[in-house]
Structure 1
Amino acid sequence: MAEYQWKYEGDKPITIKKFMSQVGLGHRLLADIKYGDGVFRMNAKVEPITTIIEPGEVVTLVTNPIPEDPEVKVSDEPIEIVYEDQNWLVVNKPAGLSSIPGPTNSTDTLLNRVKGYLIQSGATDLRPSLIIRLDRFTSGIVLVAKNRVSQSMISHQVENHELDKRYTAIVSGHLELDHDVIDHPIGKVEDSPRRVVRPDGKTAQTEYWVKSTGEDWTEVEVQLHTGRTHQIRVHFTHLGHPLLGDELYGGPQTLIQRQALHAQSLSFTDPFTHEQKVFKVTLPTDMSDIIHD
C-alpha cells in the first residue's frame, strides 16, 4: 500500500473528486479508484469520491501496489541514477541503450533495467513509466515515474510541454543564425523510420542557441517546445546541417559513430511538493572530445 495526502486549501466546500482533479490526478486513475483500485480516507474513514470536503480538511489516497507486467522482462544491468525519491527516478541513459522494449530488443532496455532496479530495491509498484523517451543512440536524462500516481500527476505538464528539456547537439557546418526557433511541421516517410519536414505533418518547434564552433561543426543548446519523433535530428537536417554521426539523416561519420545528441538537463515542477526540480548531467566523452579537442 502507498499513501498520499493533500490538504484542501480552498475556501468553499467541494467533492473529493473535484479536489483530486485540482491537485492533478487524471480521470483514468480516479475511475480506477472509484471501482475499487484504491480508497480515499478522511479522519481514518473510507469515503466515496462524491464526499464533500471542507476547507482545511485532509484527504488521504491509499493505492494498491501495481503488479509487474510479465511482458517486460527483468534486466539486472546497472543504471546511472541522478536522483530518486518515493515518486521519481531520474536516470542518465547511455547511448546505444533503447528506452523501451521493441522487436529488436525486448530484454535489456532502460525500462527492463529500471524494473530490475526496483525489484532489487524492494519496491512493490513494478510498472514504472518513462515520462521521457530518448532515441537509442541519444544519451542523457530520462525521467521515470515510479508509480501510477506520479505518472498521473505529471501528465498535465507533459501534455502542455511544461517540462523544460535541454539538449546539446553537434551539427555539421556553421549555422546562419546564433539563435532561432525552427518552426516546421514533421511527418512520416512511408516504409521508413525517417521523418521529414512536410506541410501535412504535425506542428513542431525547436529552439536553439549556438554555443561554440569548430572547423566544420557547430555545438548548439536545444530546447524542445514540442515532442515529435526525431524532432531535433529532422529540423537540423532540414536546415542542411544534420547532426554529426547521424547515419539515418546523412550526418558526417568521421568524428563520432552515433548522432551527436545528449539530453543534458531537465527541470519540472514536482506536482507533489510544488518545488522546482532541476537536473543536469555532463556530456559523454564521445561528444566532449569533439568540442574540446
Structure 2
Amino acid sequence: MNYIKVSDSYKRILKFLNEKCIENPANPKKTNNFDITFENVEFSYEDEDFKLKNVNFEIEENTLTALVGPSGSGKTTITNLLLRFWDPDEGKIKIGGVDIQEMDYDYLLSNLSVVMQNVILFADTIYNNIKIGDKNASKEEVIEAAKKAQIHEFIMTLPDGYDTMIGENGLGLSGGQKQRISIARAFLQNAPILILDEITSNVDPINESKIQNAISELAKNKTILVIAHHLNTIKNAENILVFDDGQIVQNGTHDDLIIKEGLYKTLWNVQSKSKEYTF
C-alpha cells in the first residue's frame, strides 16, 4: 500500500519537474498601458476535447469586463492563458499592445493580481502569507494592506497576531478569512490588472459584505477581468463576454444582452427563477 502511494507521488512530482520552464525573450519588452487584447486565439488541452476557437476581444484600460457562460465553456482558460500557464496554439495575447510572450515572465506577473475562489495559503505565519504579495514590503505596509482587506481586526484577536501560524491551505481559517488574506496580498502587490474569480459564492453574509467592500476599494483605477457565476454581481460591467463551447457567442452590457434572445438571457432567467424558490 505504501509503495503504491509513494509511486503515485513520485509520478506526479516527476511530471512537475519535467515541465518546460518559460523562456524569457532575449530583448524583453515593457508597456505603459494595461488594456488587454486577444487576437484570433485558439487553444486546446492535450488530453481533453475542449478547444478555444478564434477568440477575439479587447478590454480597455481601467474598465471591468466579465466572463460568463456554462461550466467548461472557456472562462477559466482565458485567465490561464493571460497568466501564461499555457500559451495559445494560435493567435496573440497583448497587454498595452505588447505580446505577453515578448515580456519577461516575472514582469508580466508583477502586473497581474489574482484573487480566486480557491485560495492558496502556506503553512506559515499570517504575516508571511500576506507578504507574498510583495516580498519587499515593510511591516507597516503589510498591516495597511490587511486593514484595507478588512482582515486586520480578526488577526489582532489571535493570540500571536500576525505571527500566528496557519496550516497548509489555511487550515484553521474560514473561507471568508482566507479570501480576505488573499485580497490583502493583492492590495500589497497593487498590480494594474486584477483577475477575479467570483469569490463570494461560498461565504457567509458577514464575510461577503466585507469582501465586497474590500474588492470595491481594490478595483479602483485597475483593468479588471471577472469570471462571474452570479450574473447579478456584474450588471454594471462595461462589457460582458458570453462563452459557450470555447467561443464568444455574445458580448455587450447587461442592458444590451438582457433584451436579446440568447444564452445570456437564458442564464439570467434560470438564475432569477432559482432565487424565487430559495427559502
TM-score band by shorter chain is: under 0.3
Larger of the two Rg values belongs to structure: 1
Q: Which has the higher contact order (CA 8 A, sep 6+)?
A: 2
TM-score by length of 1: 0.27
Quick check: which one's strand share is greater? 1
TM-score by length of 2: 0.28
Quick check: which one's helix share is greater? 2
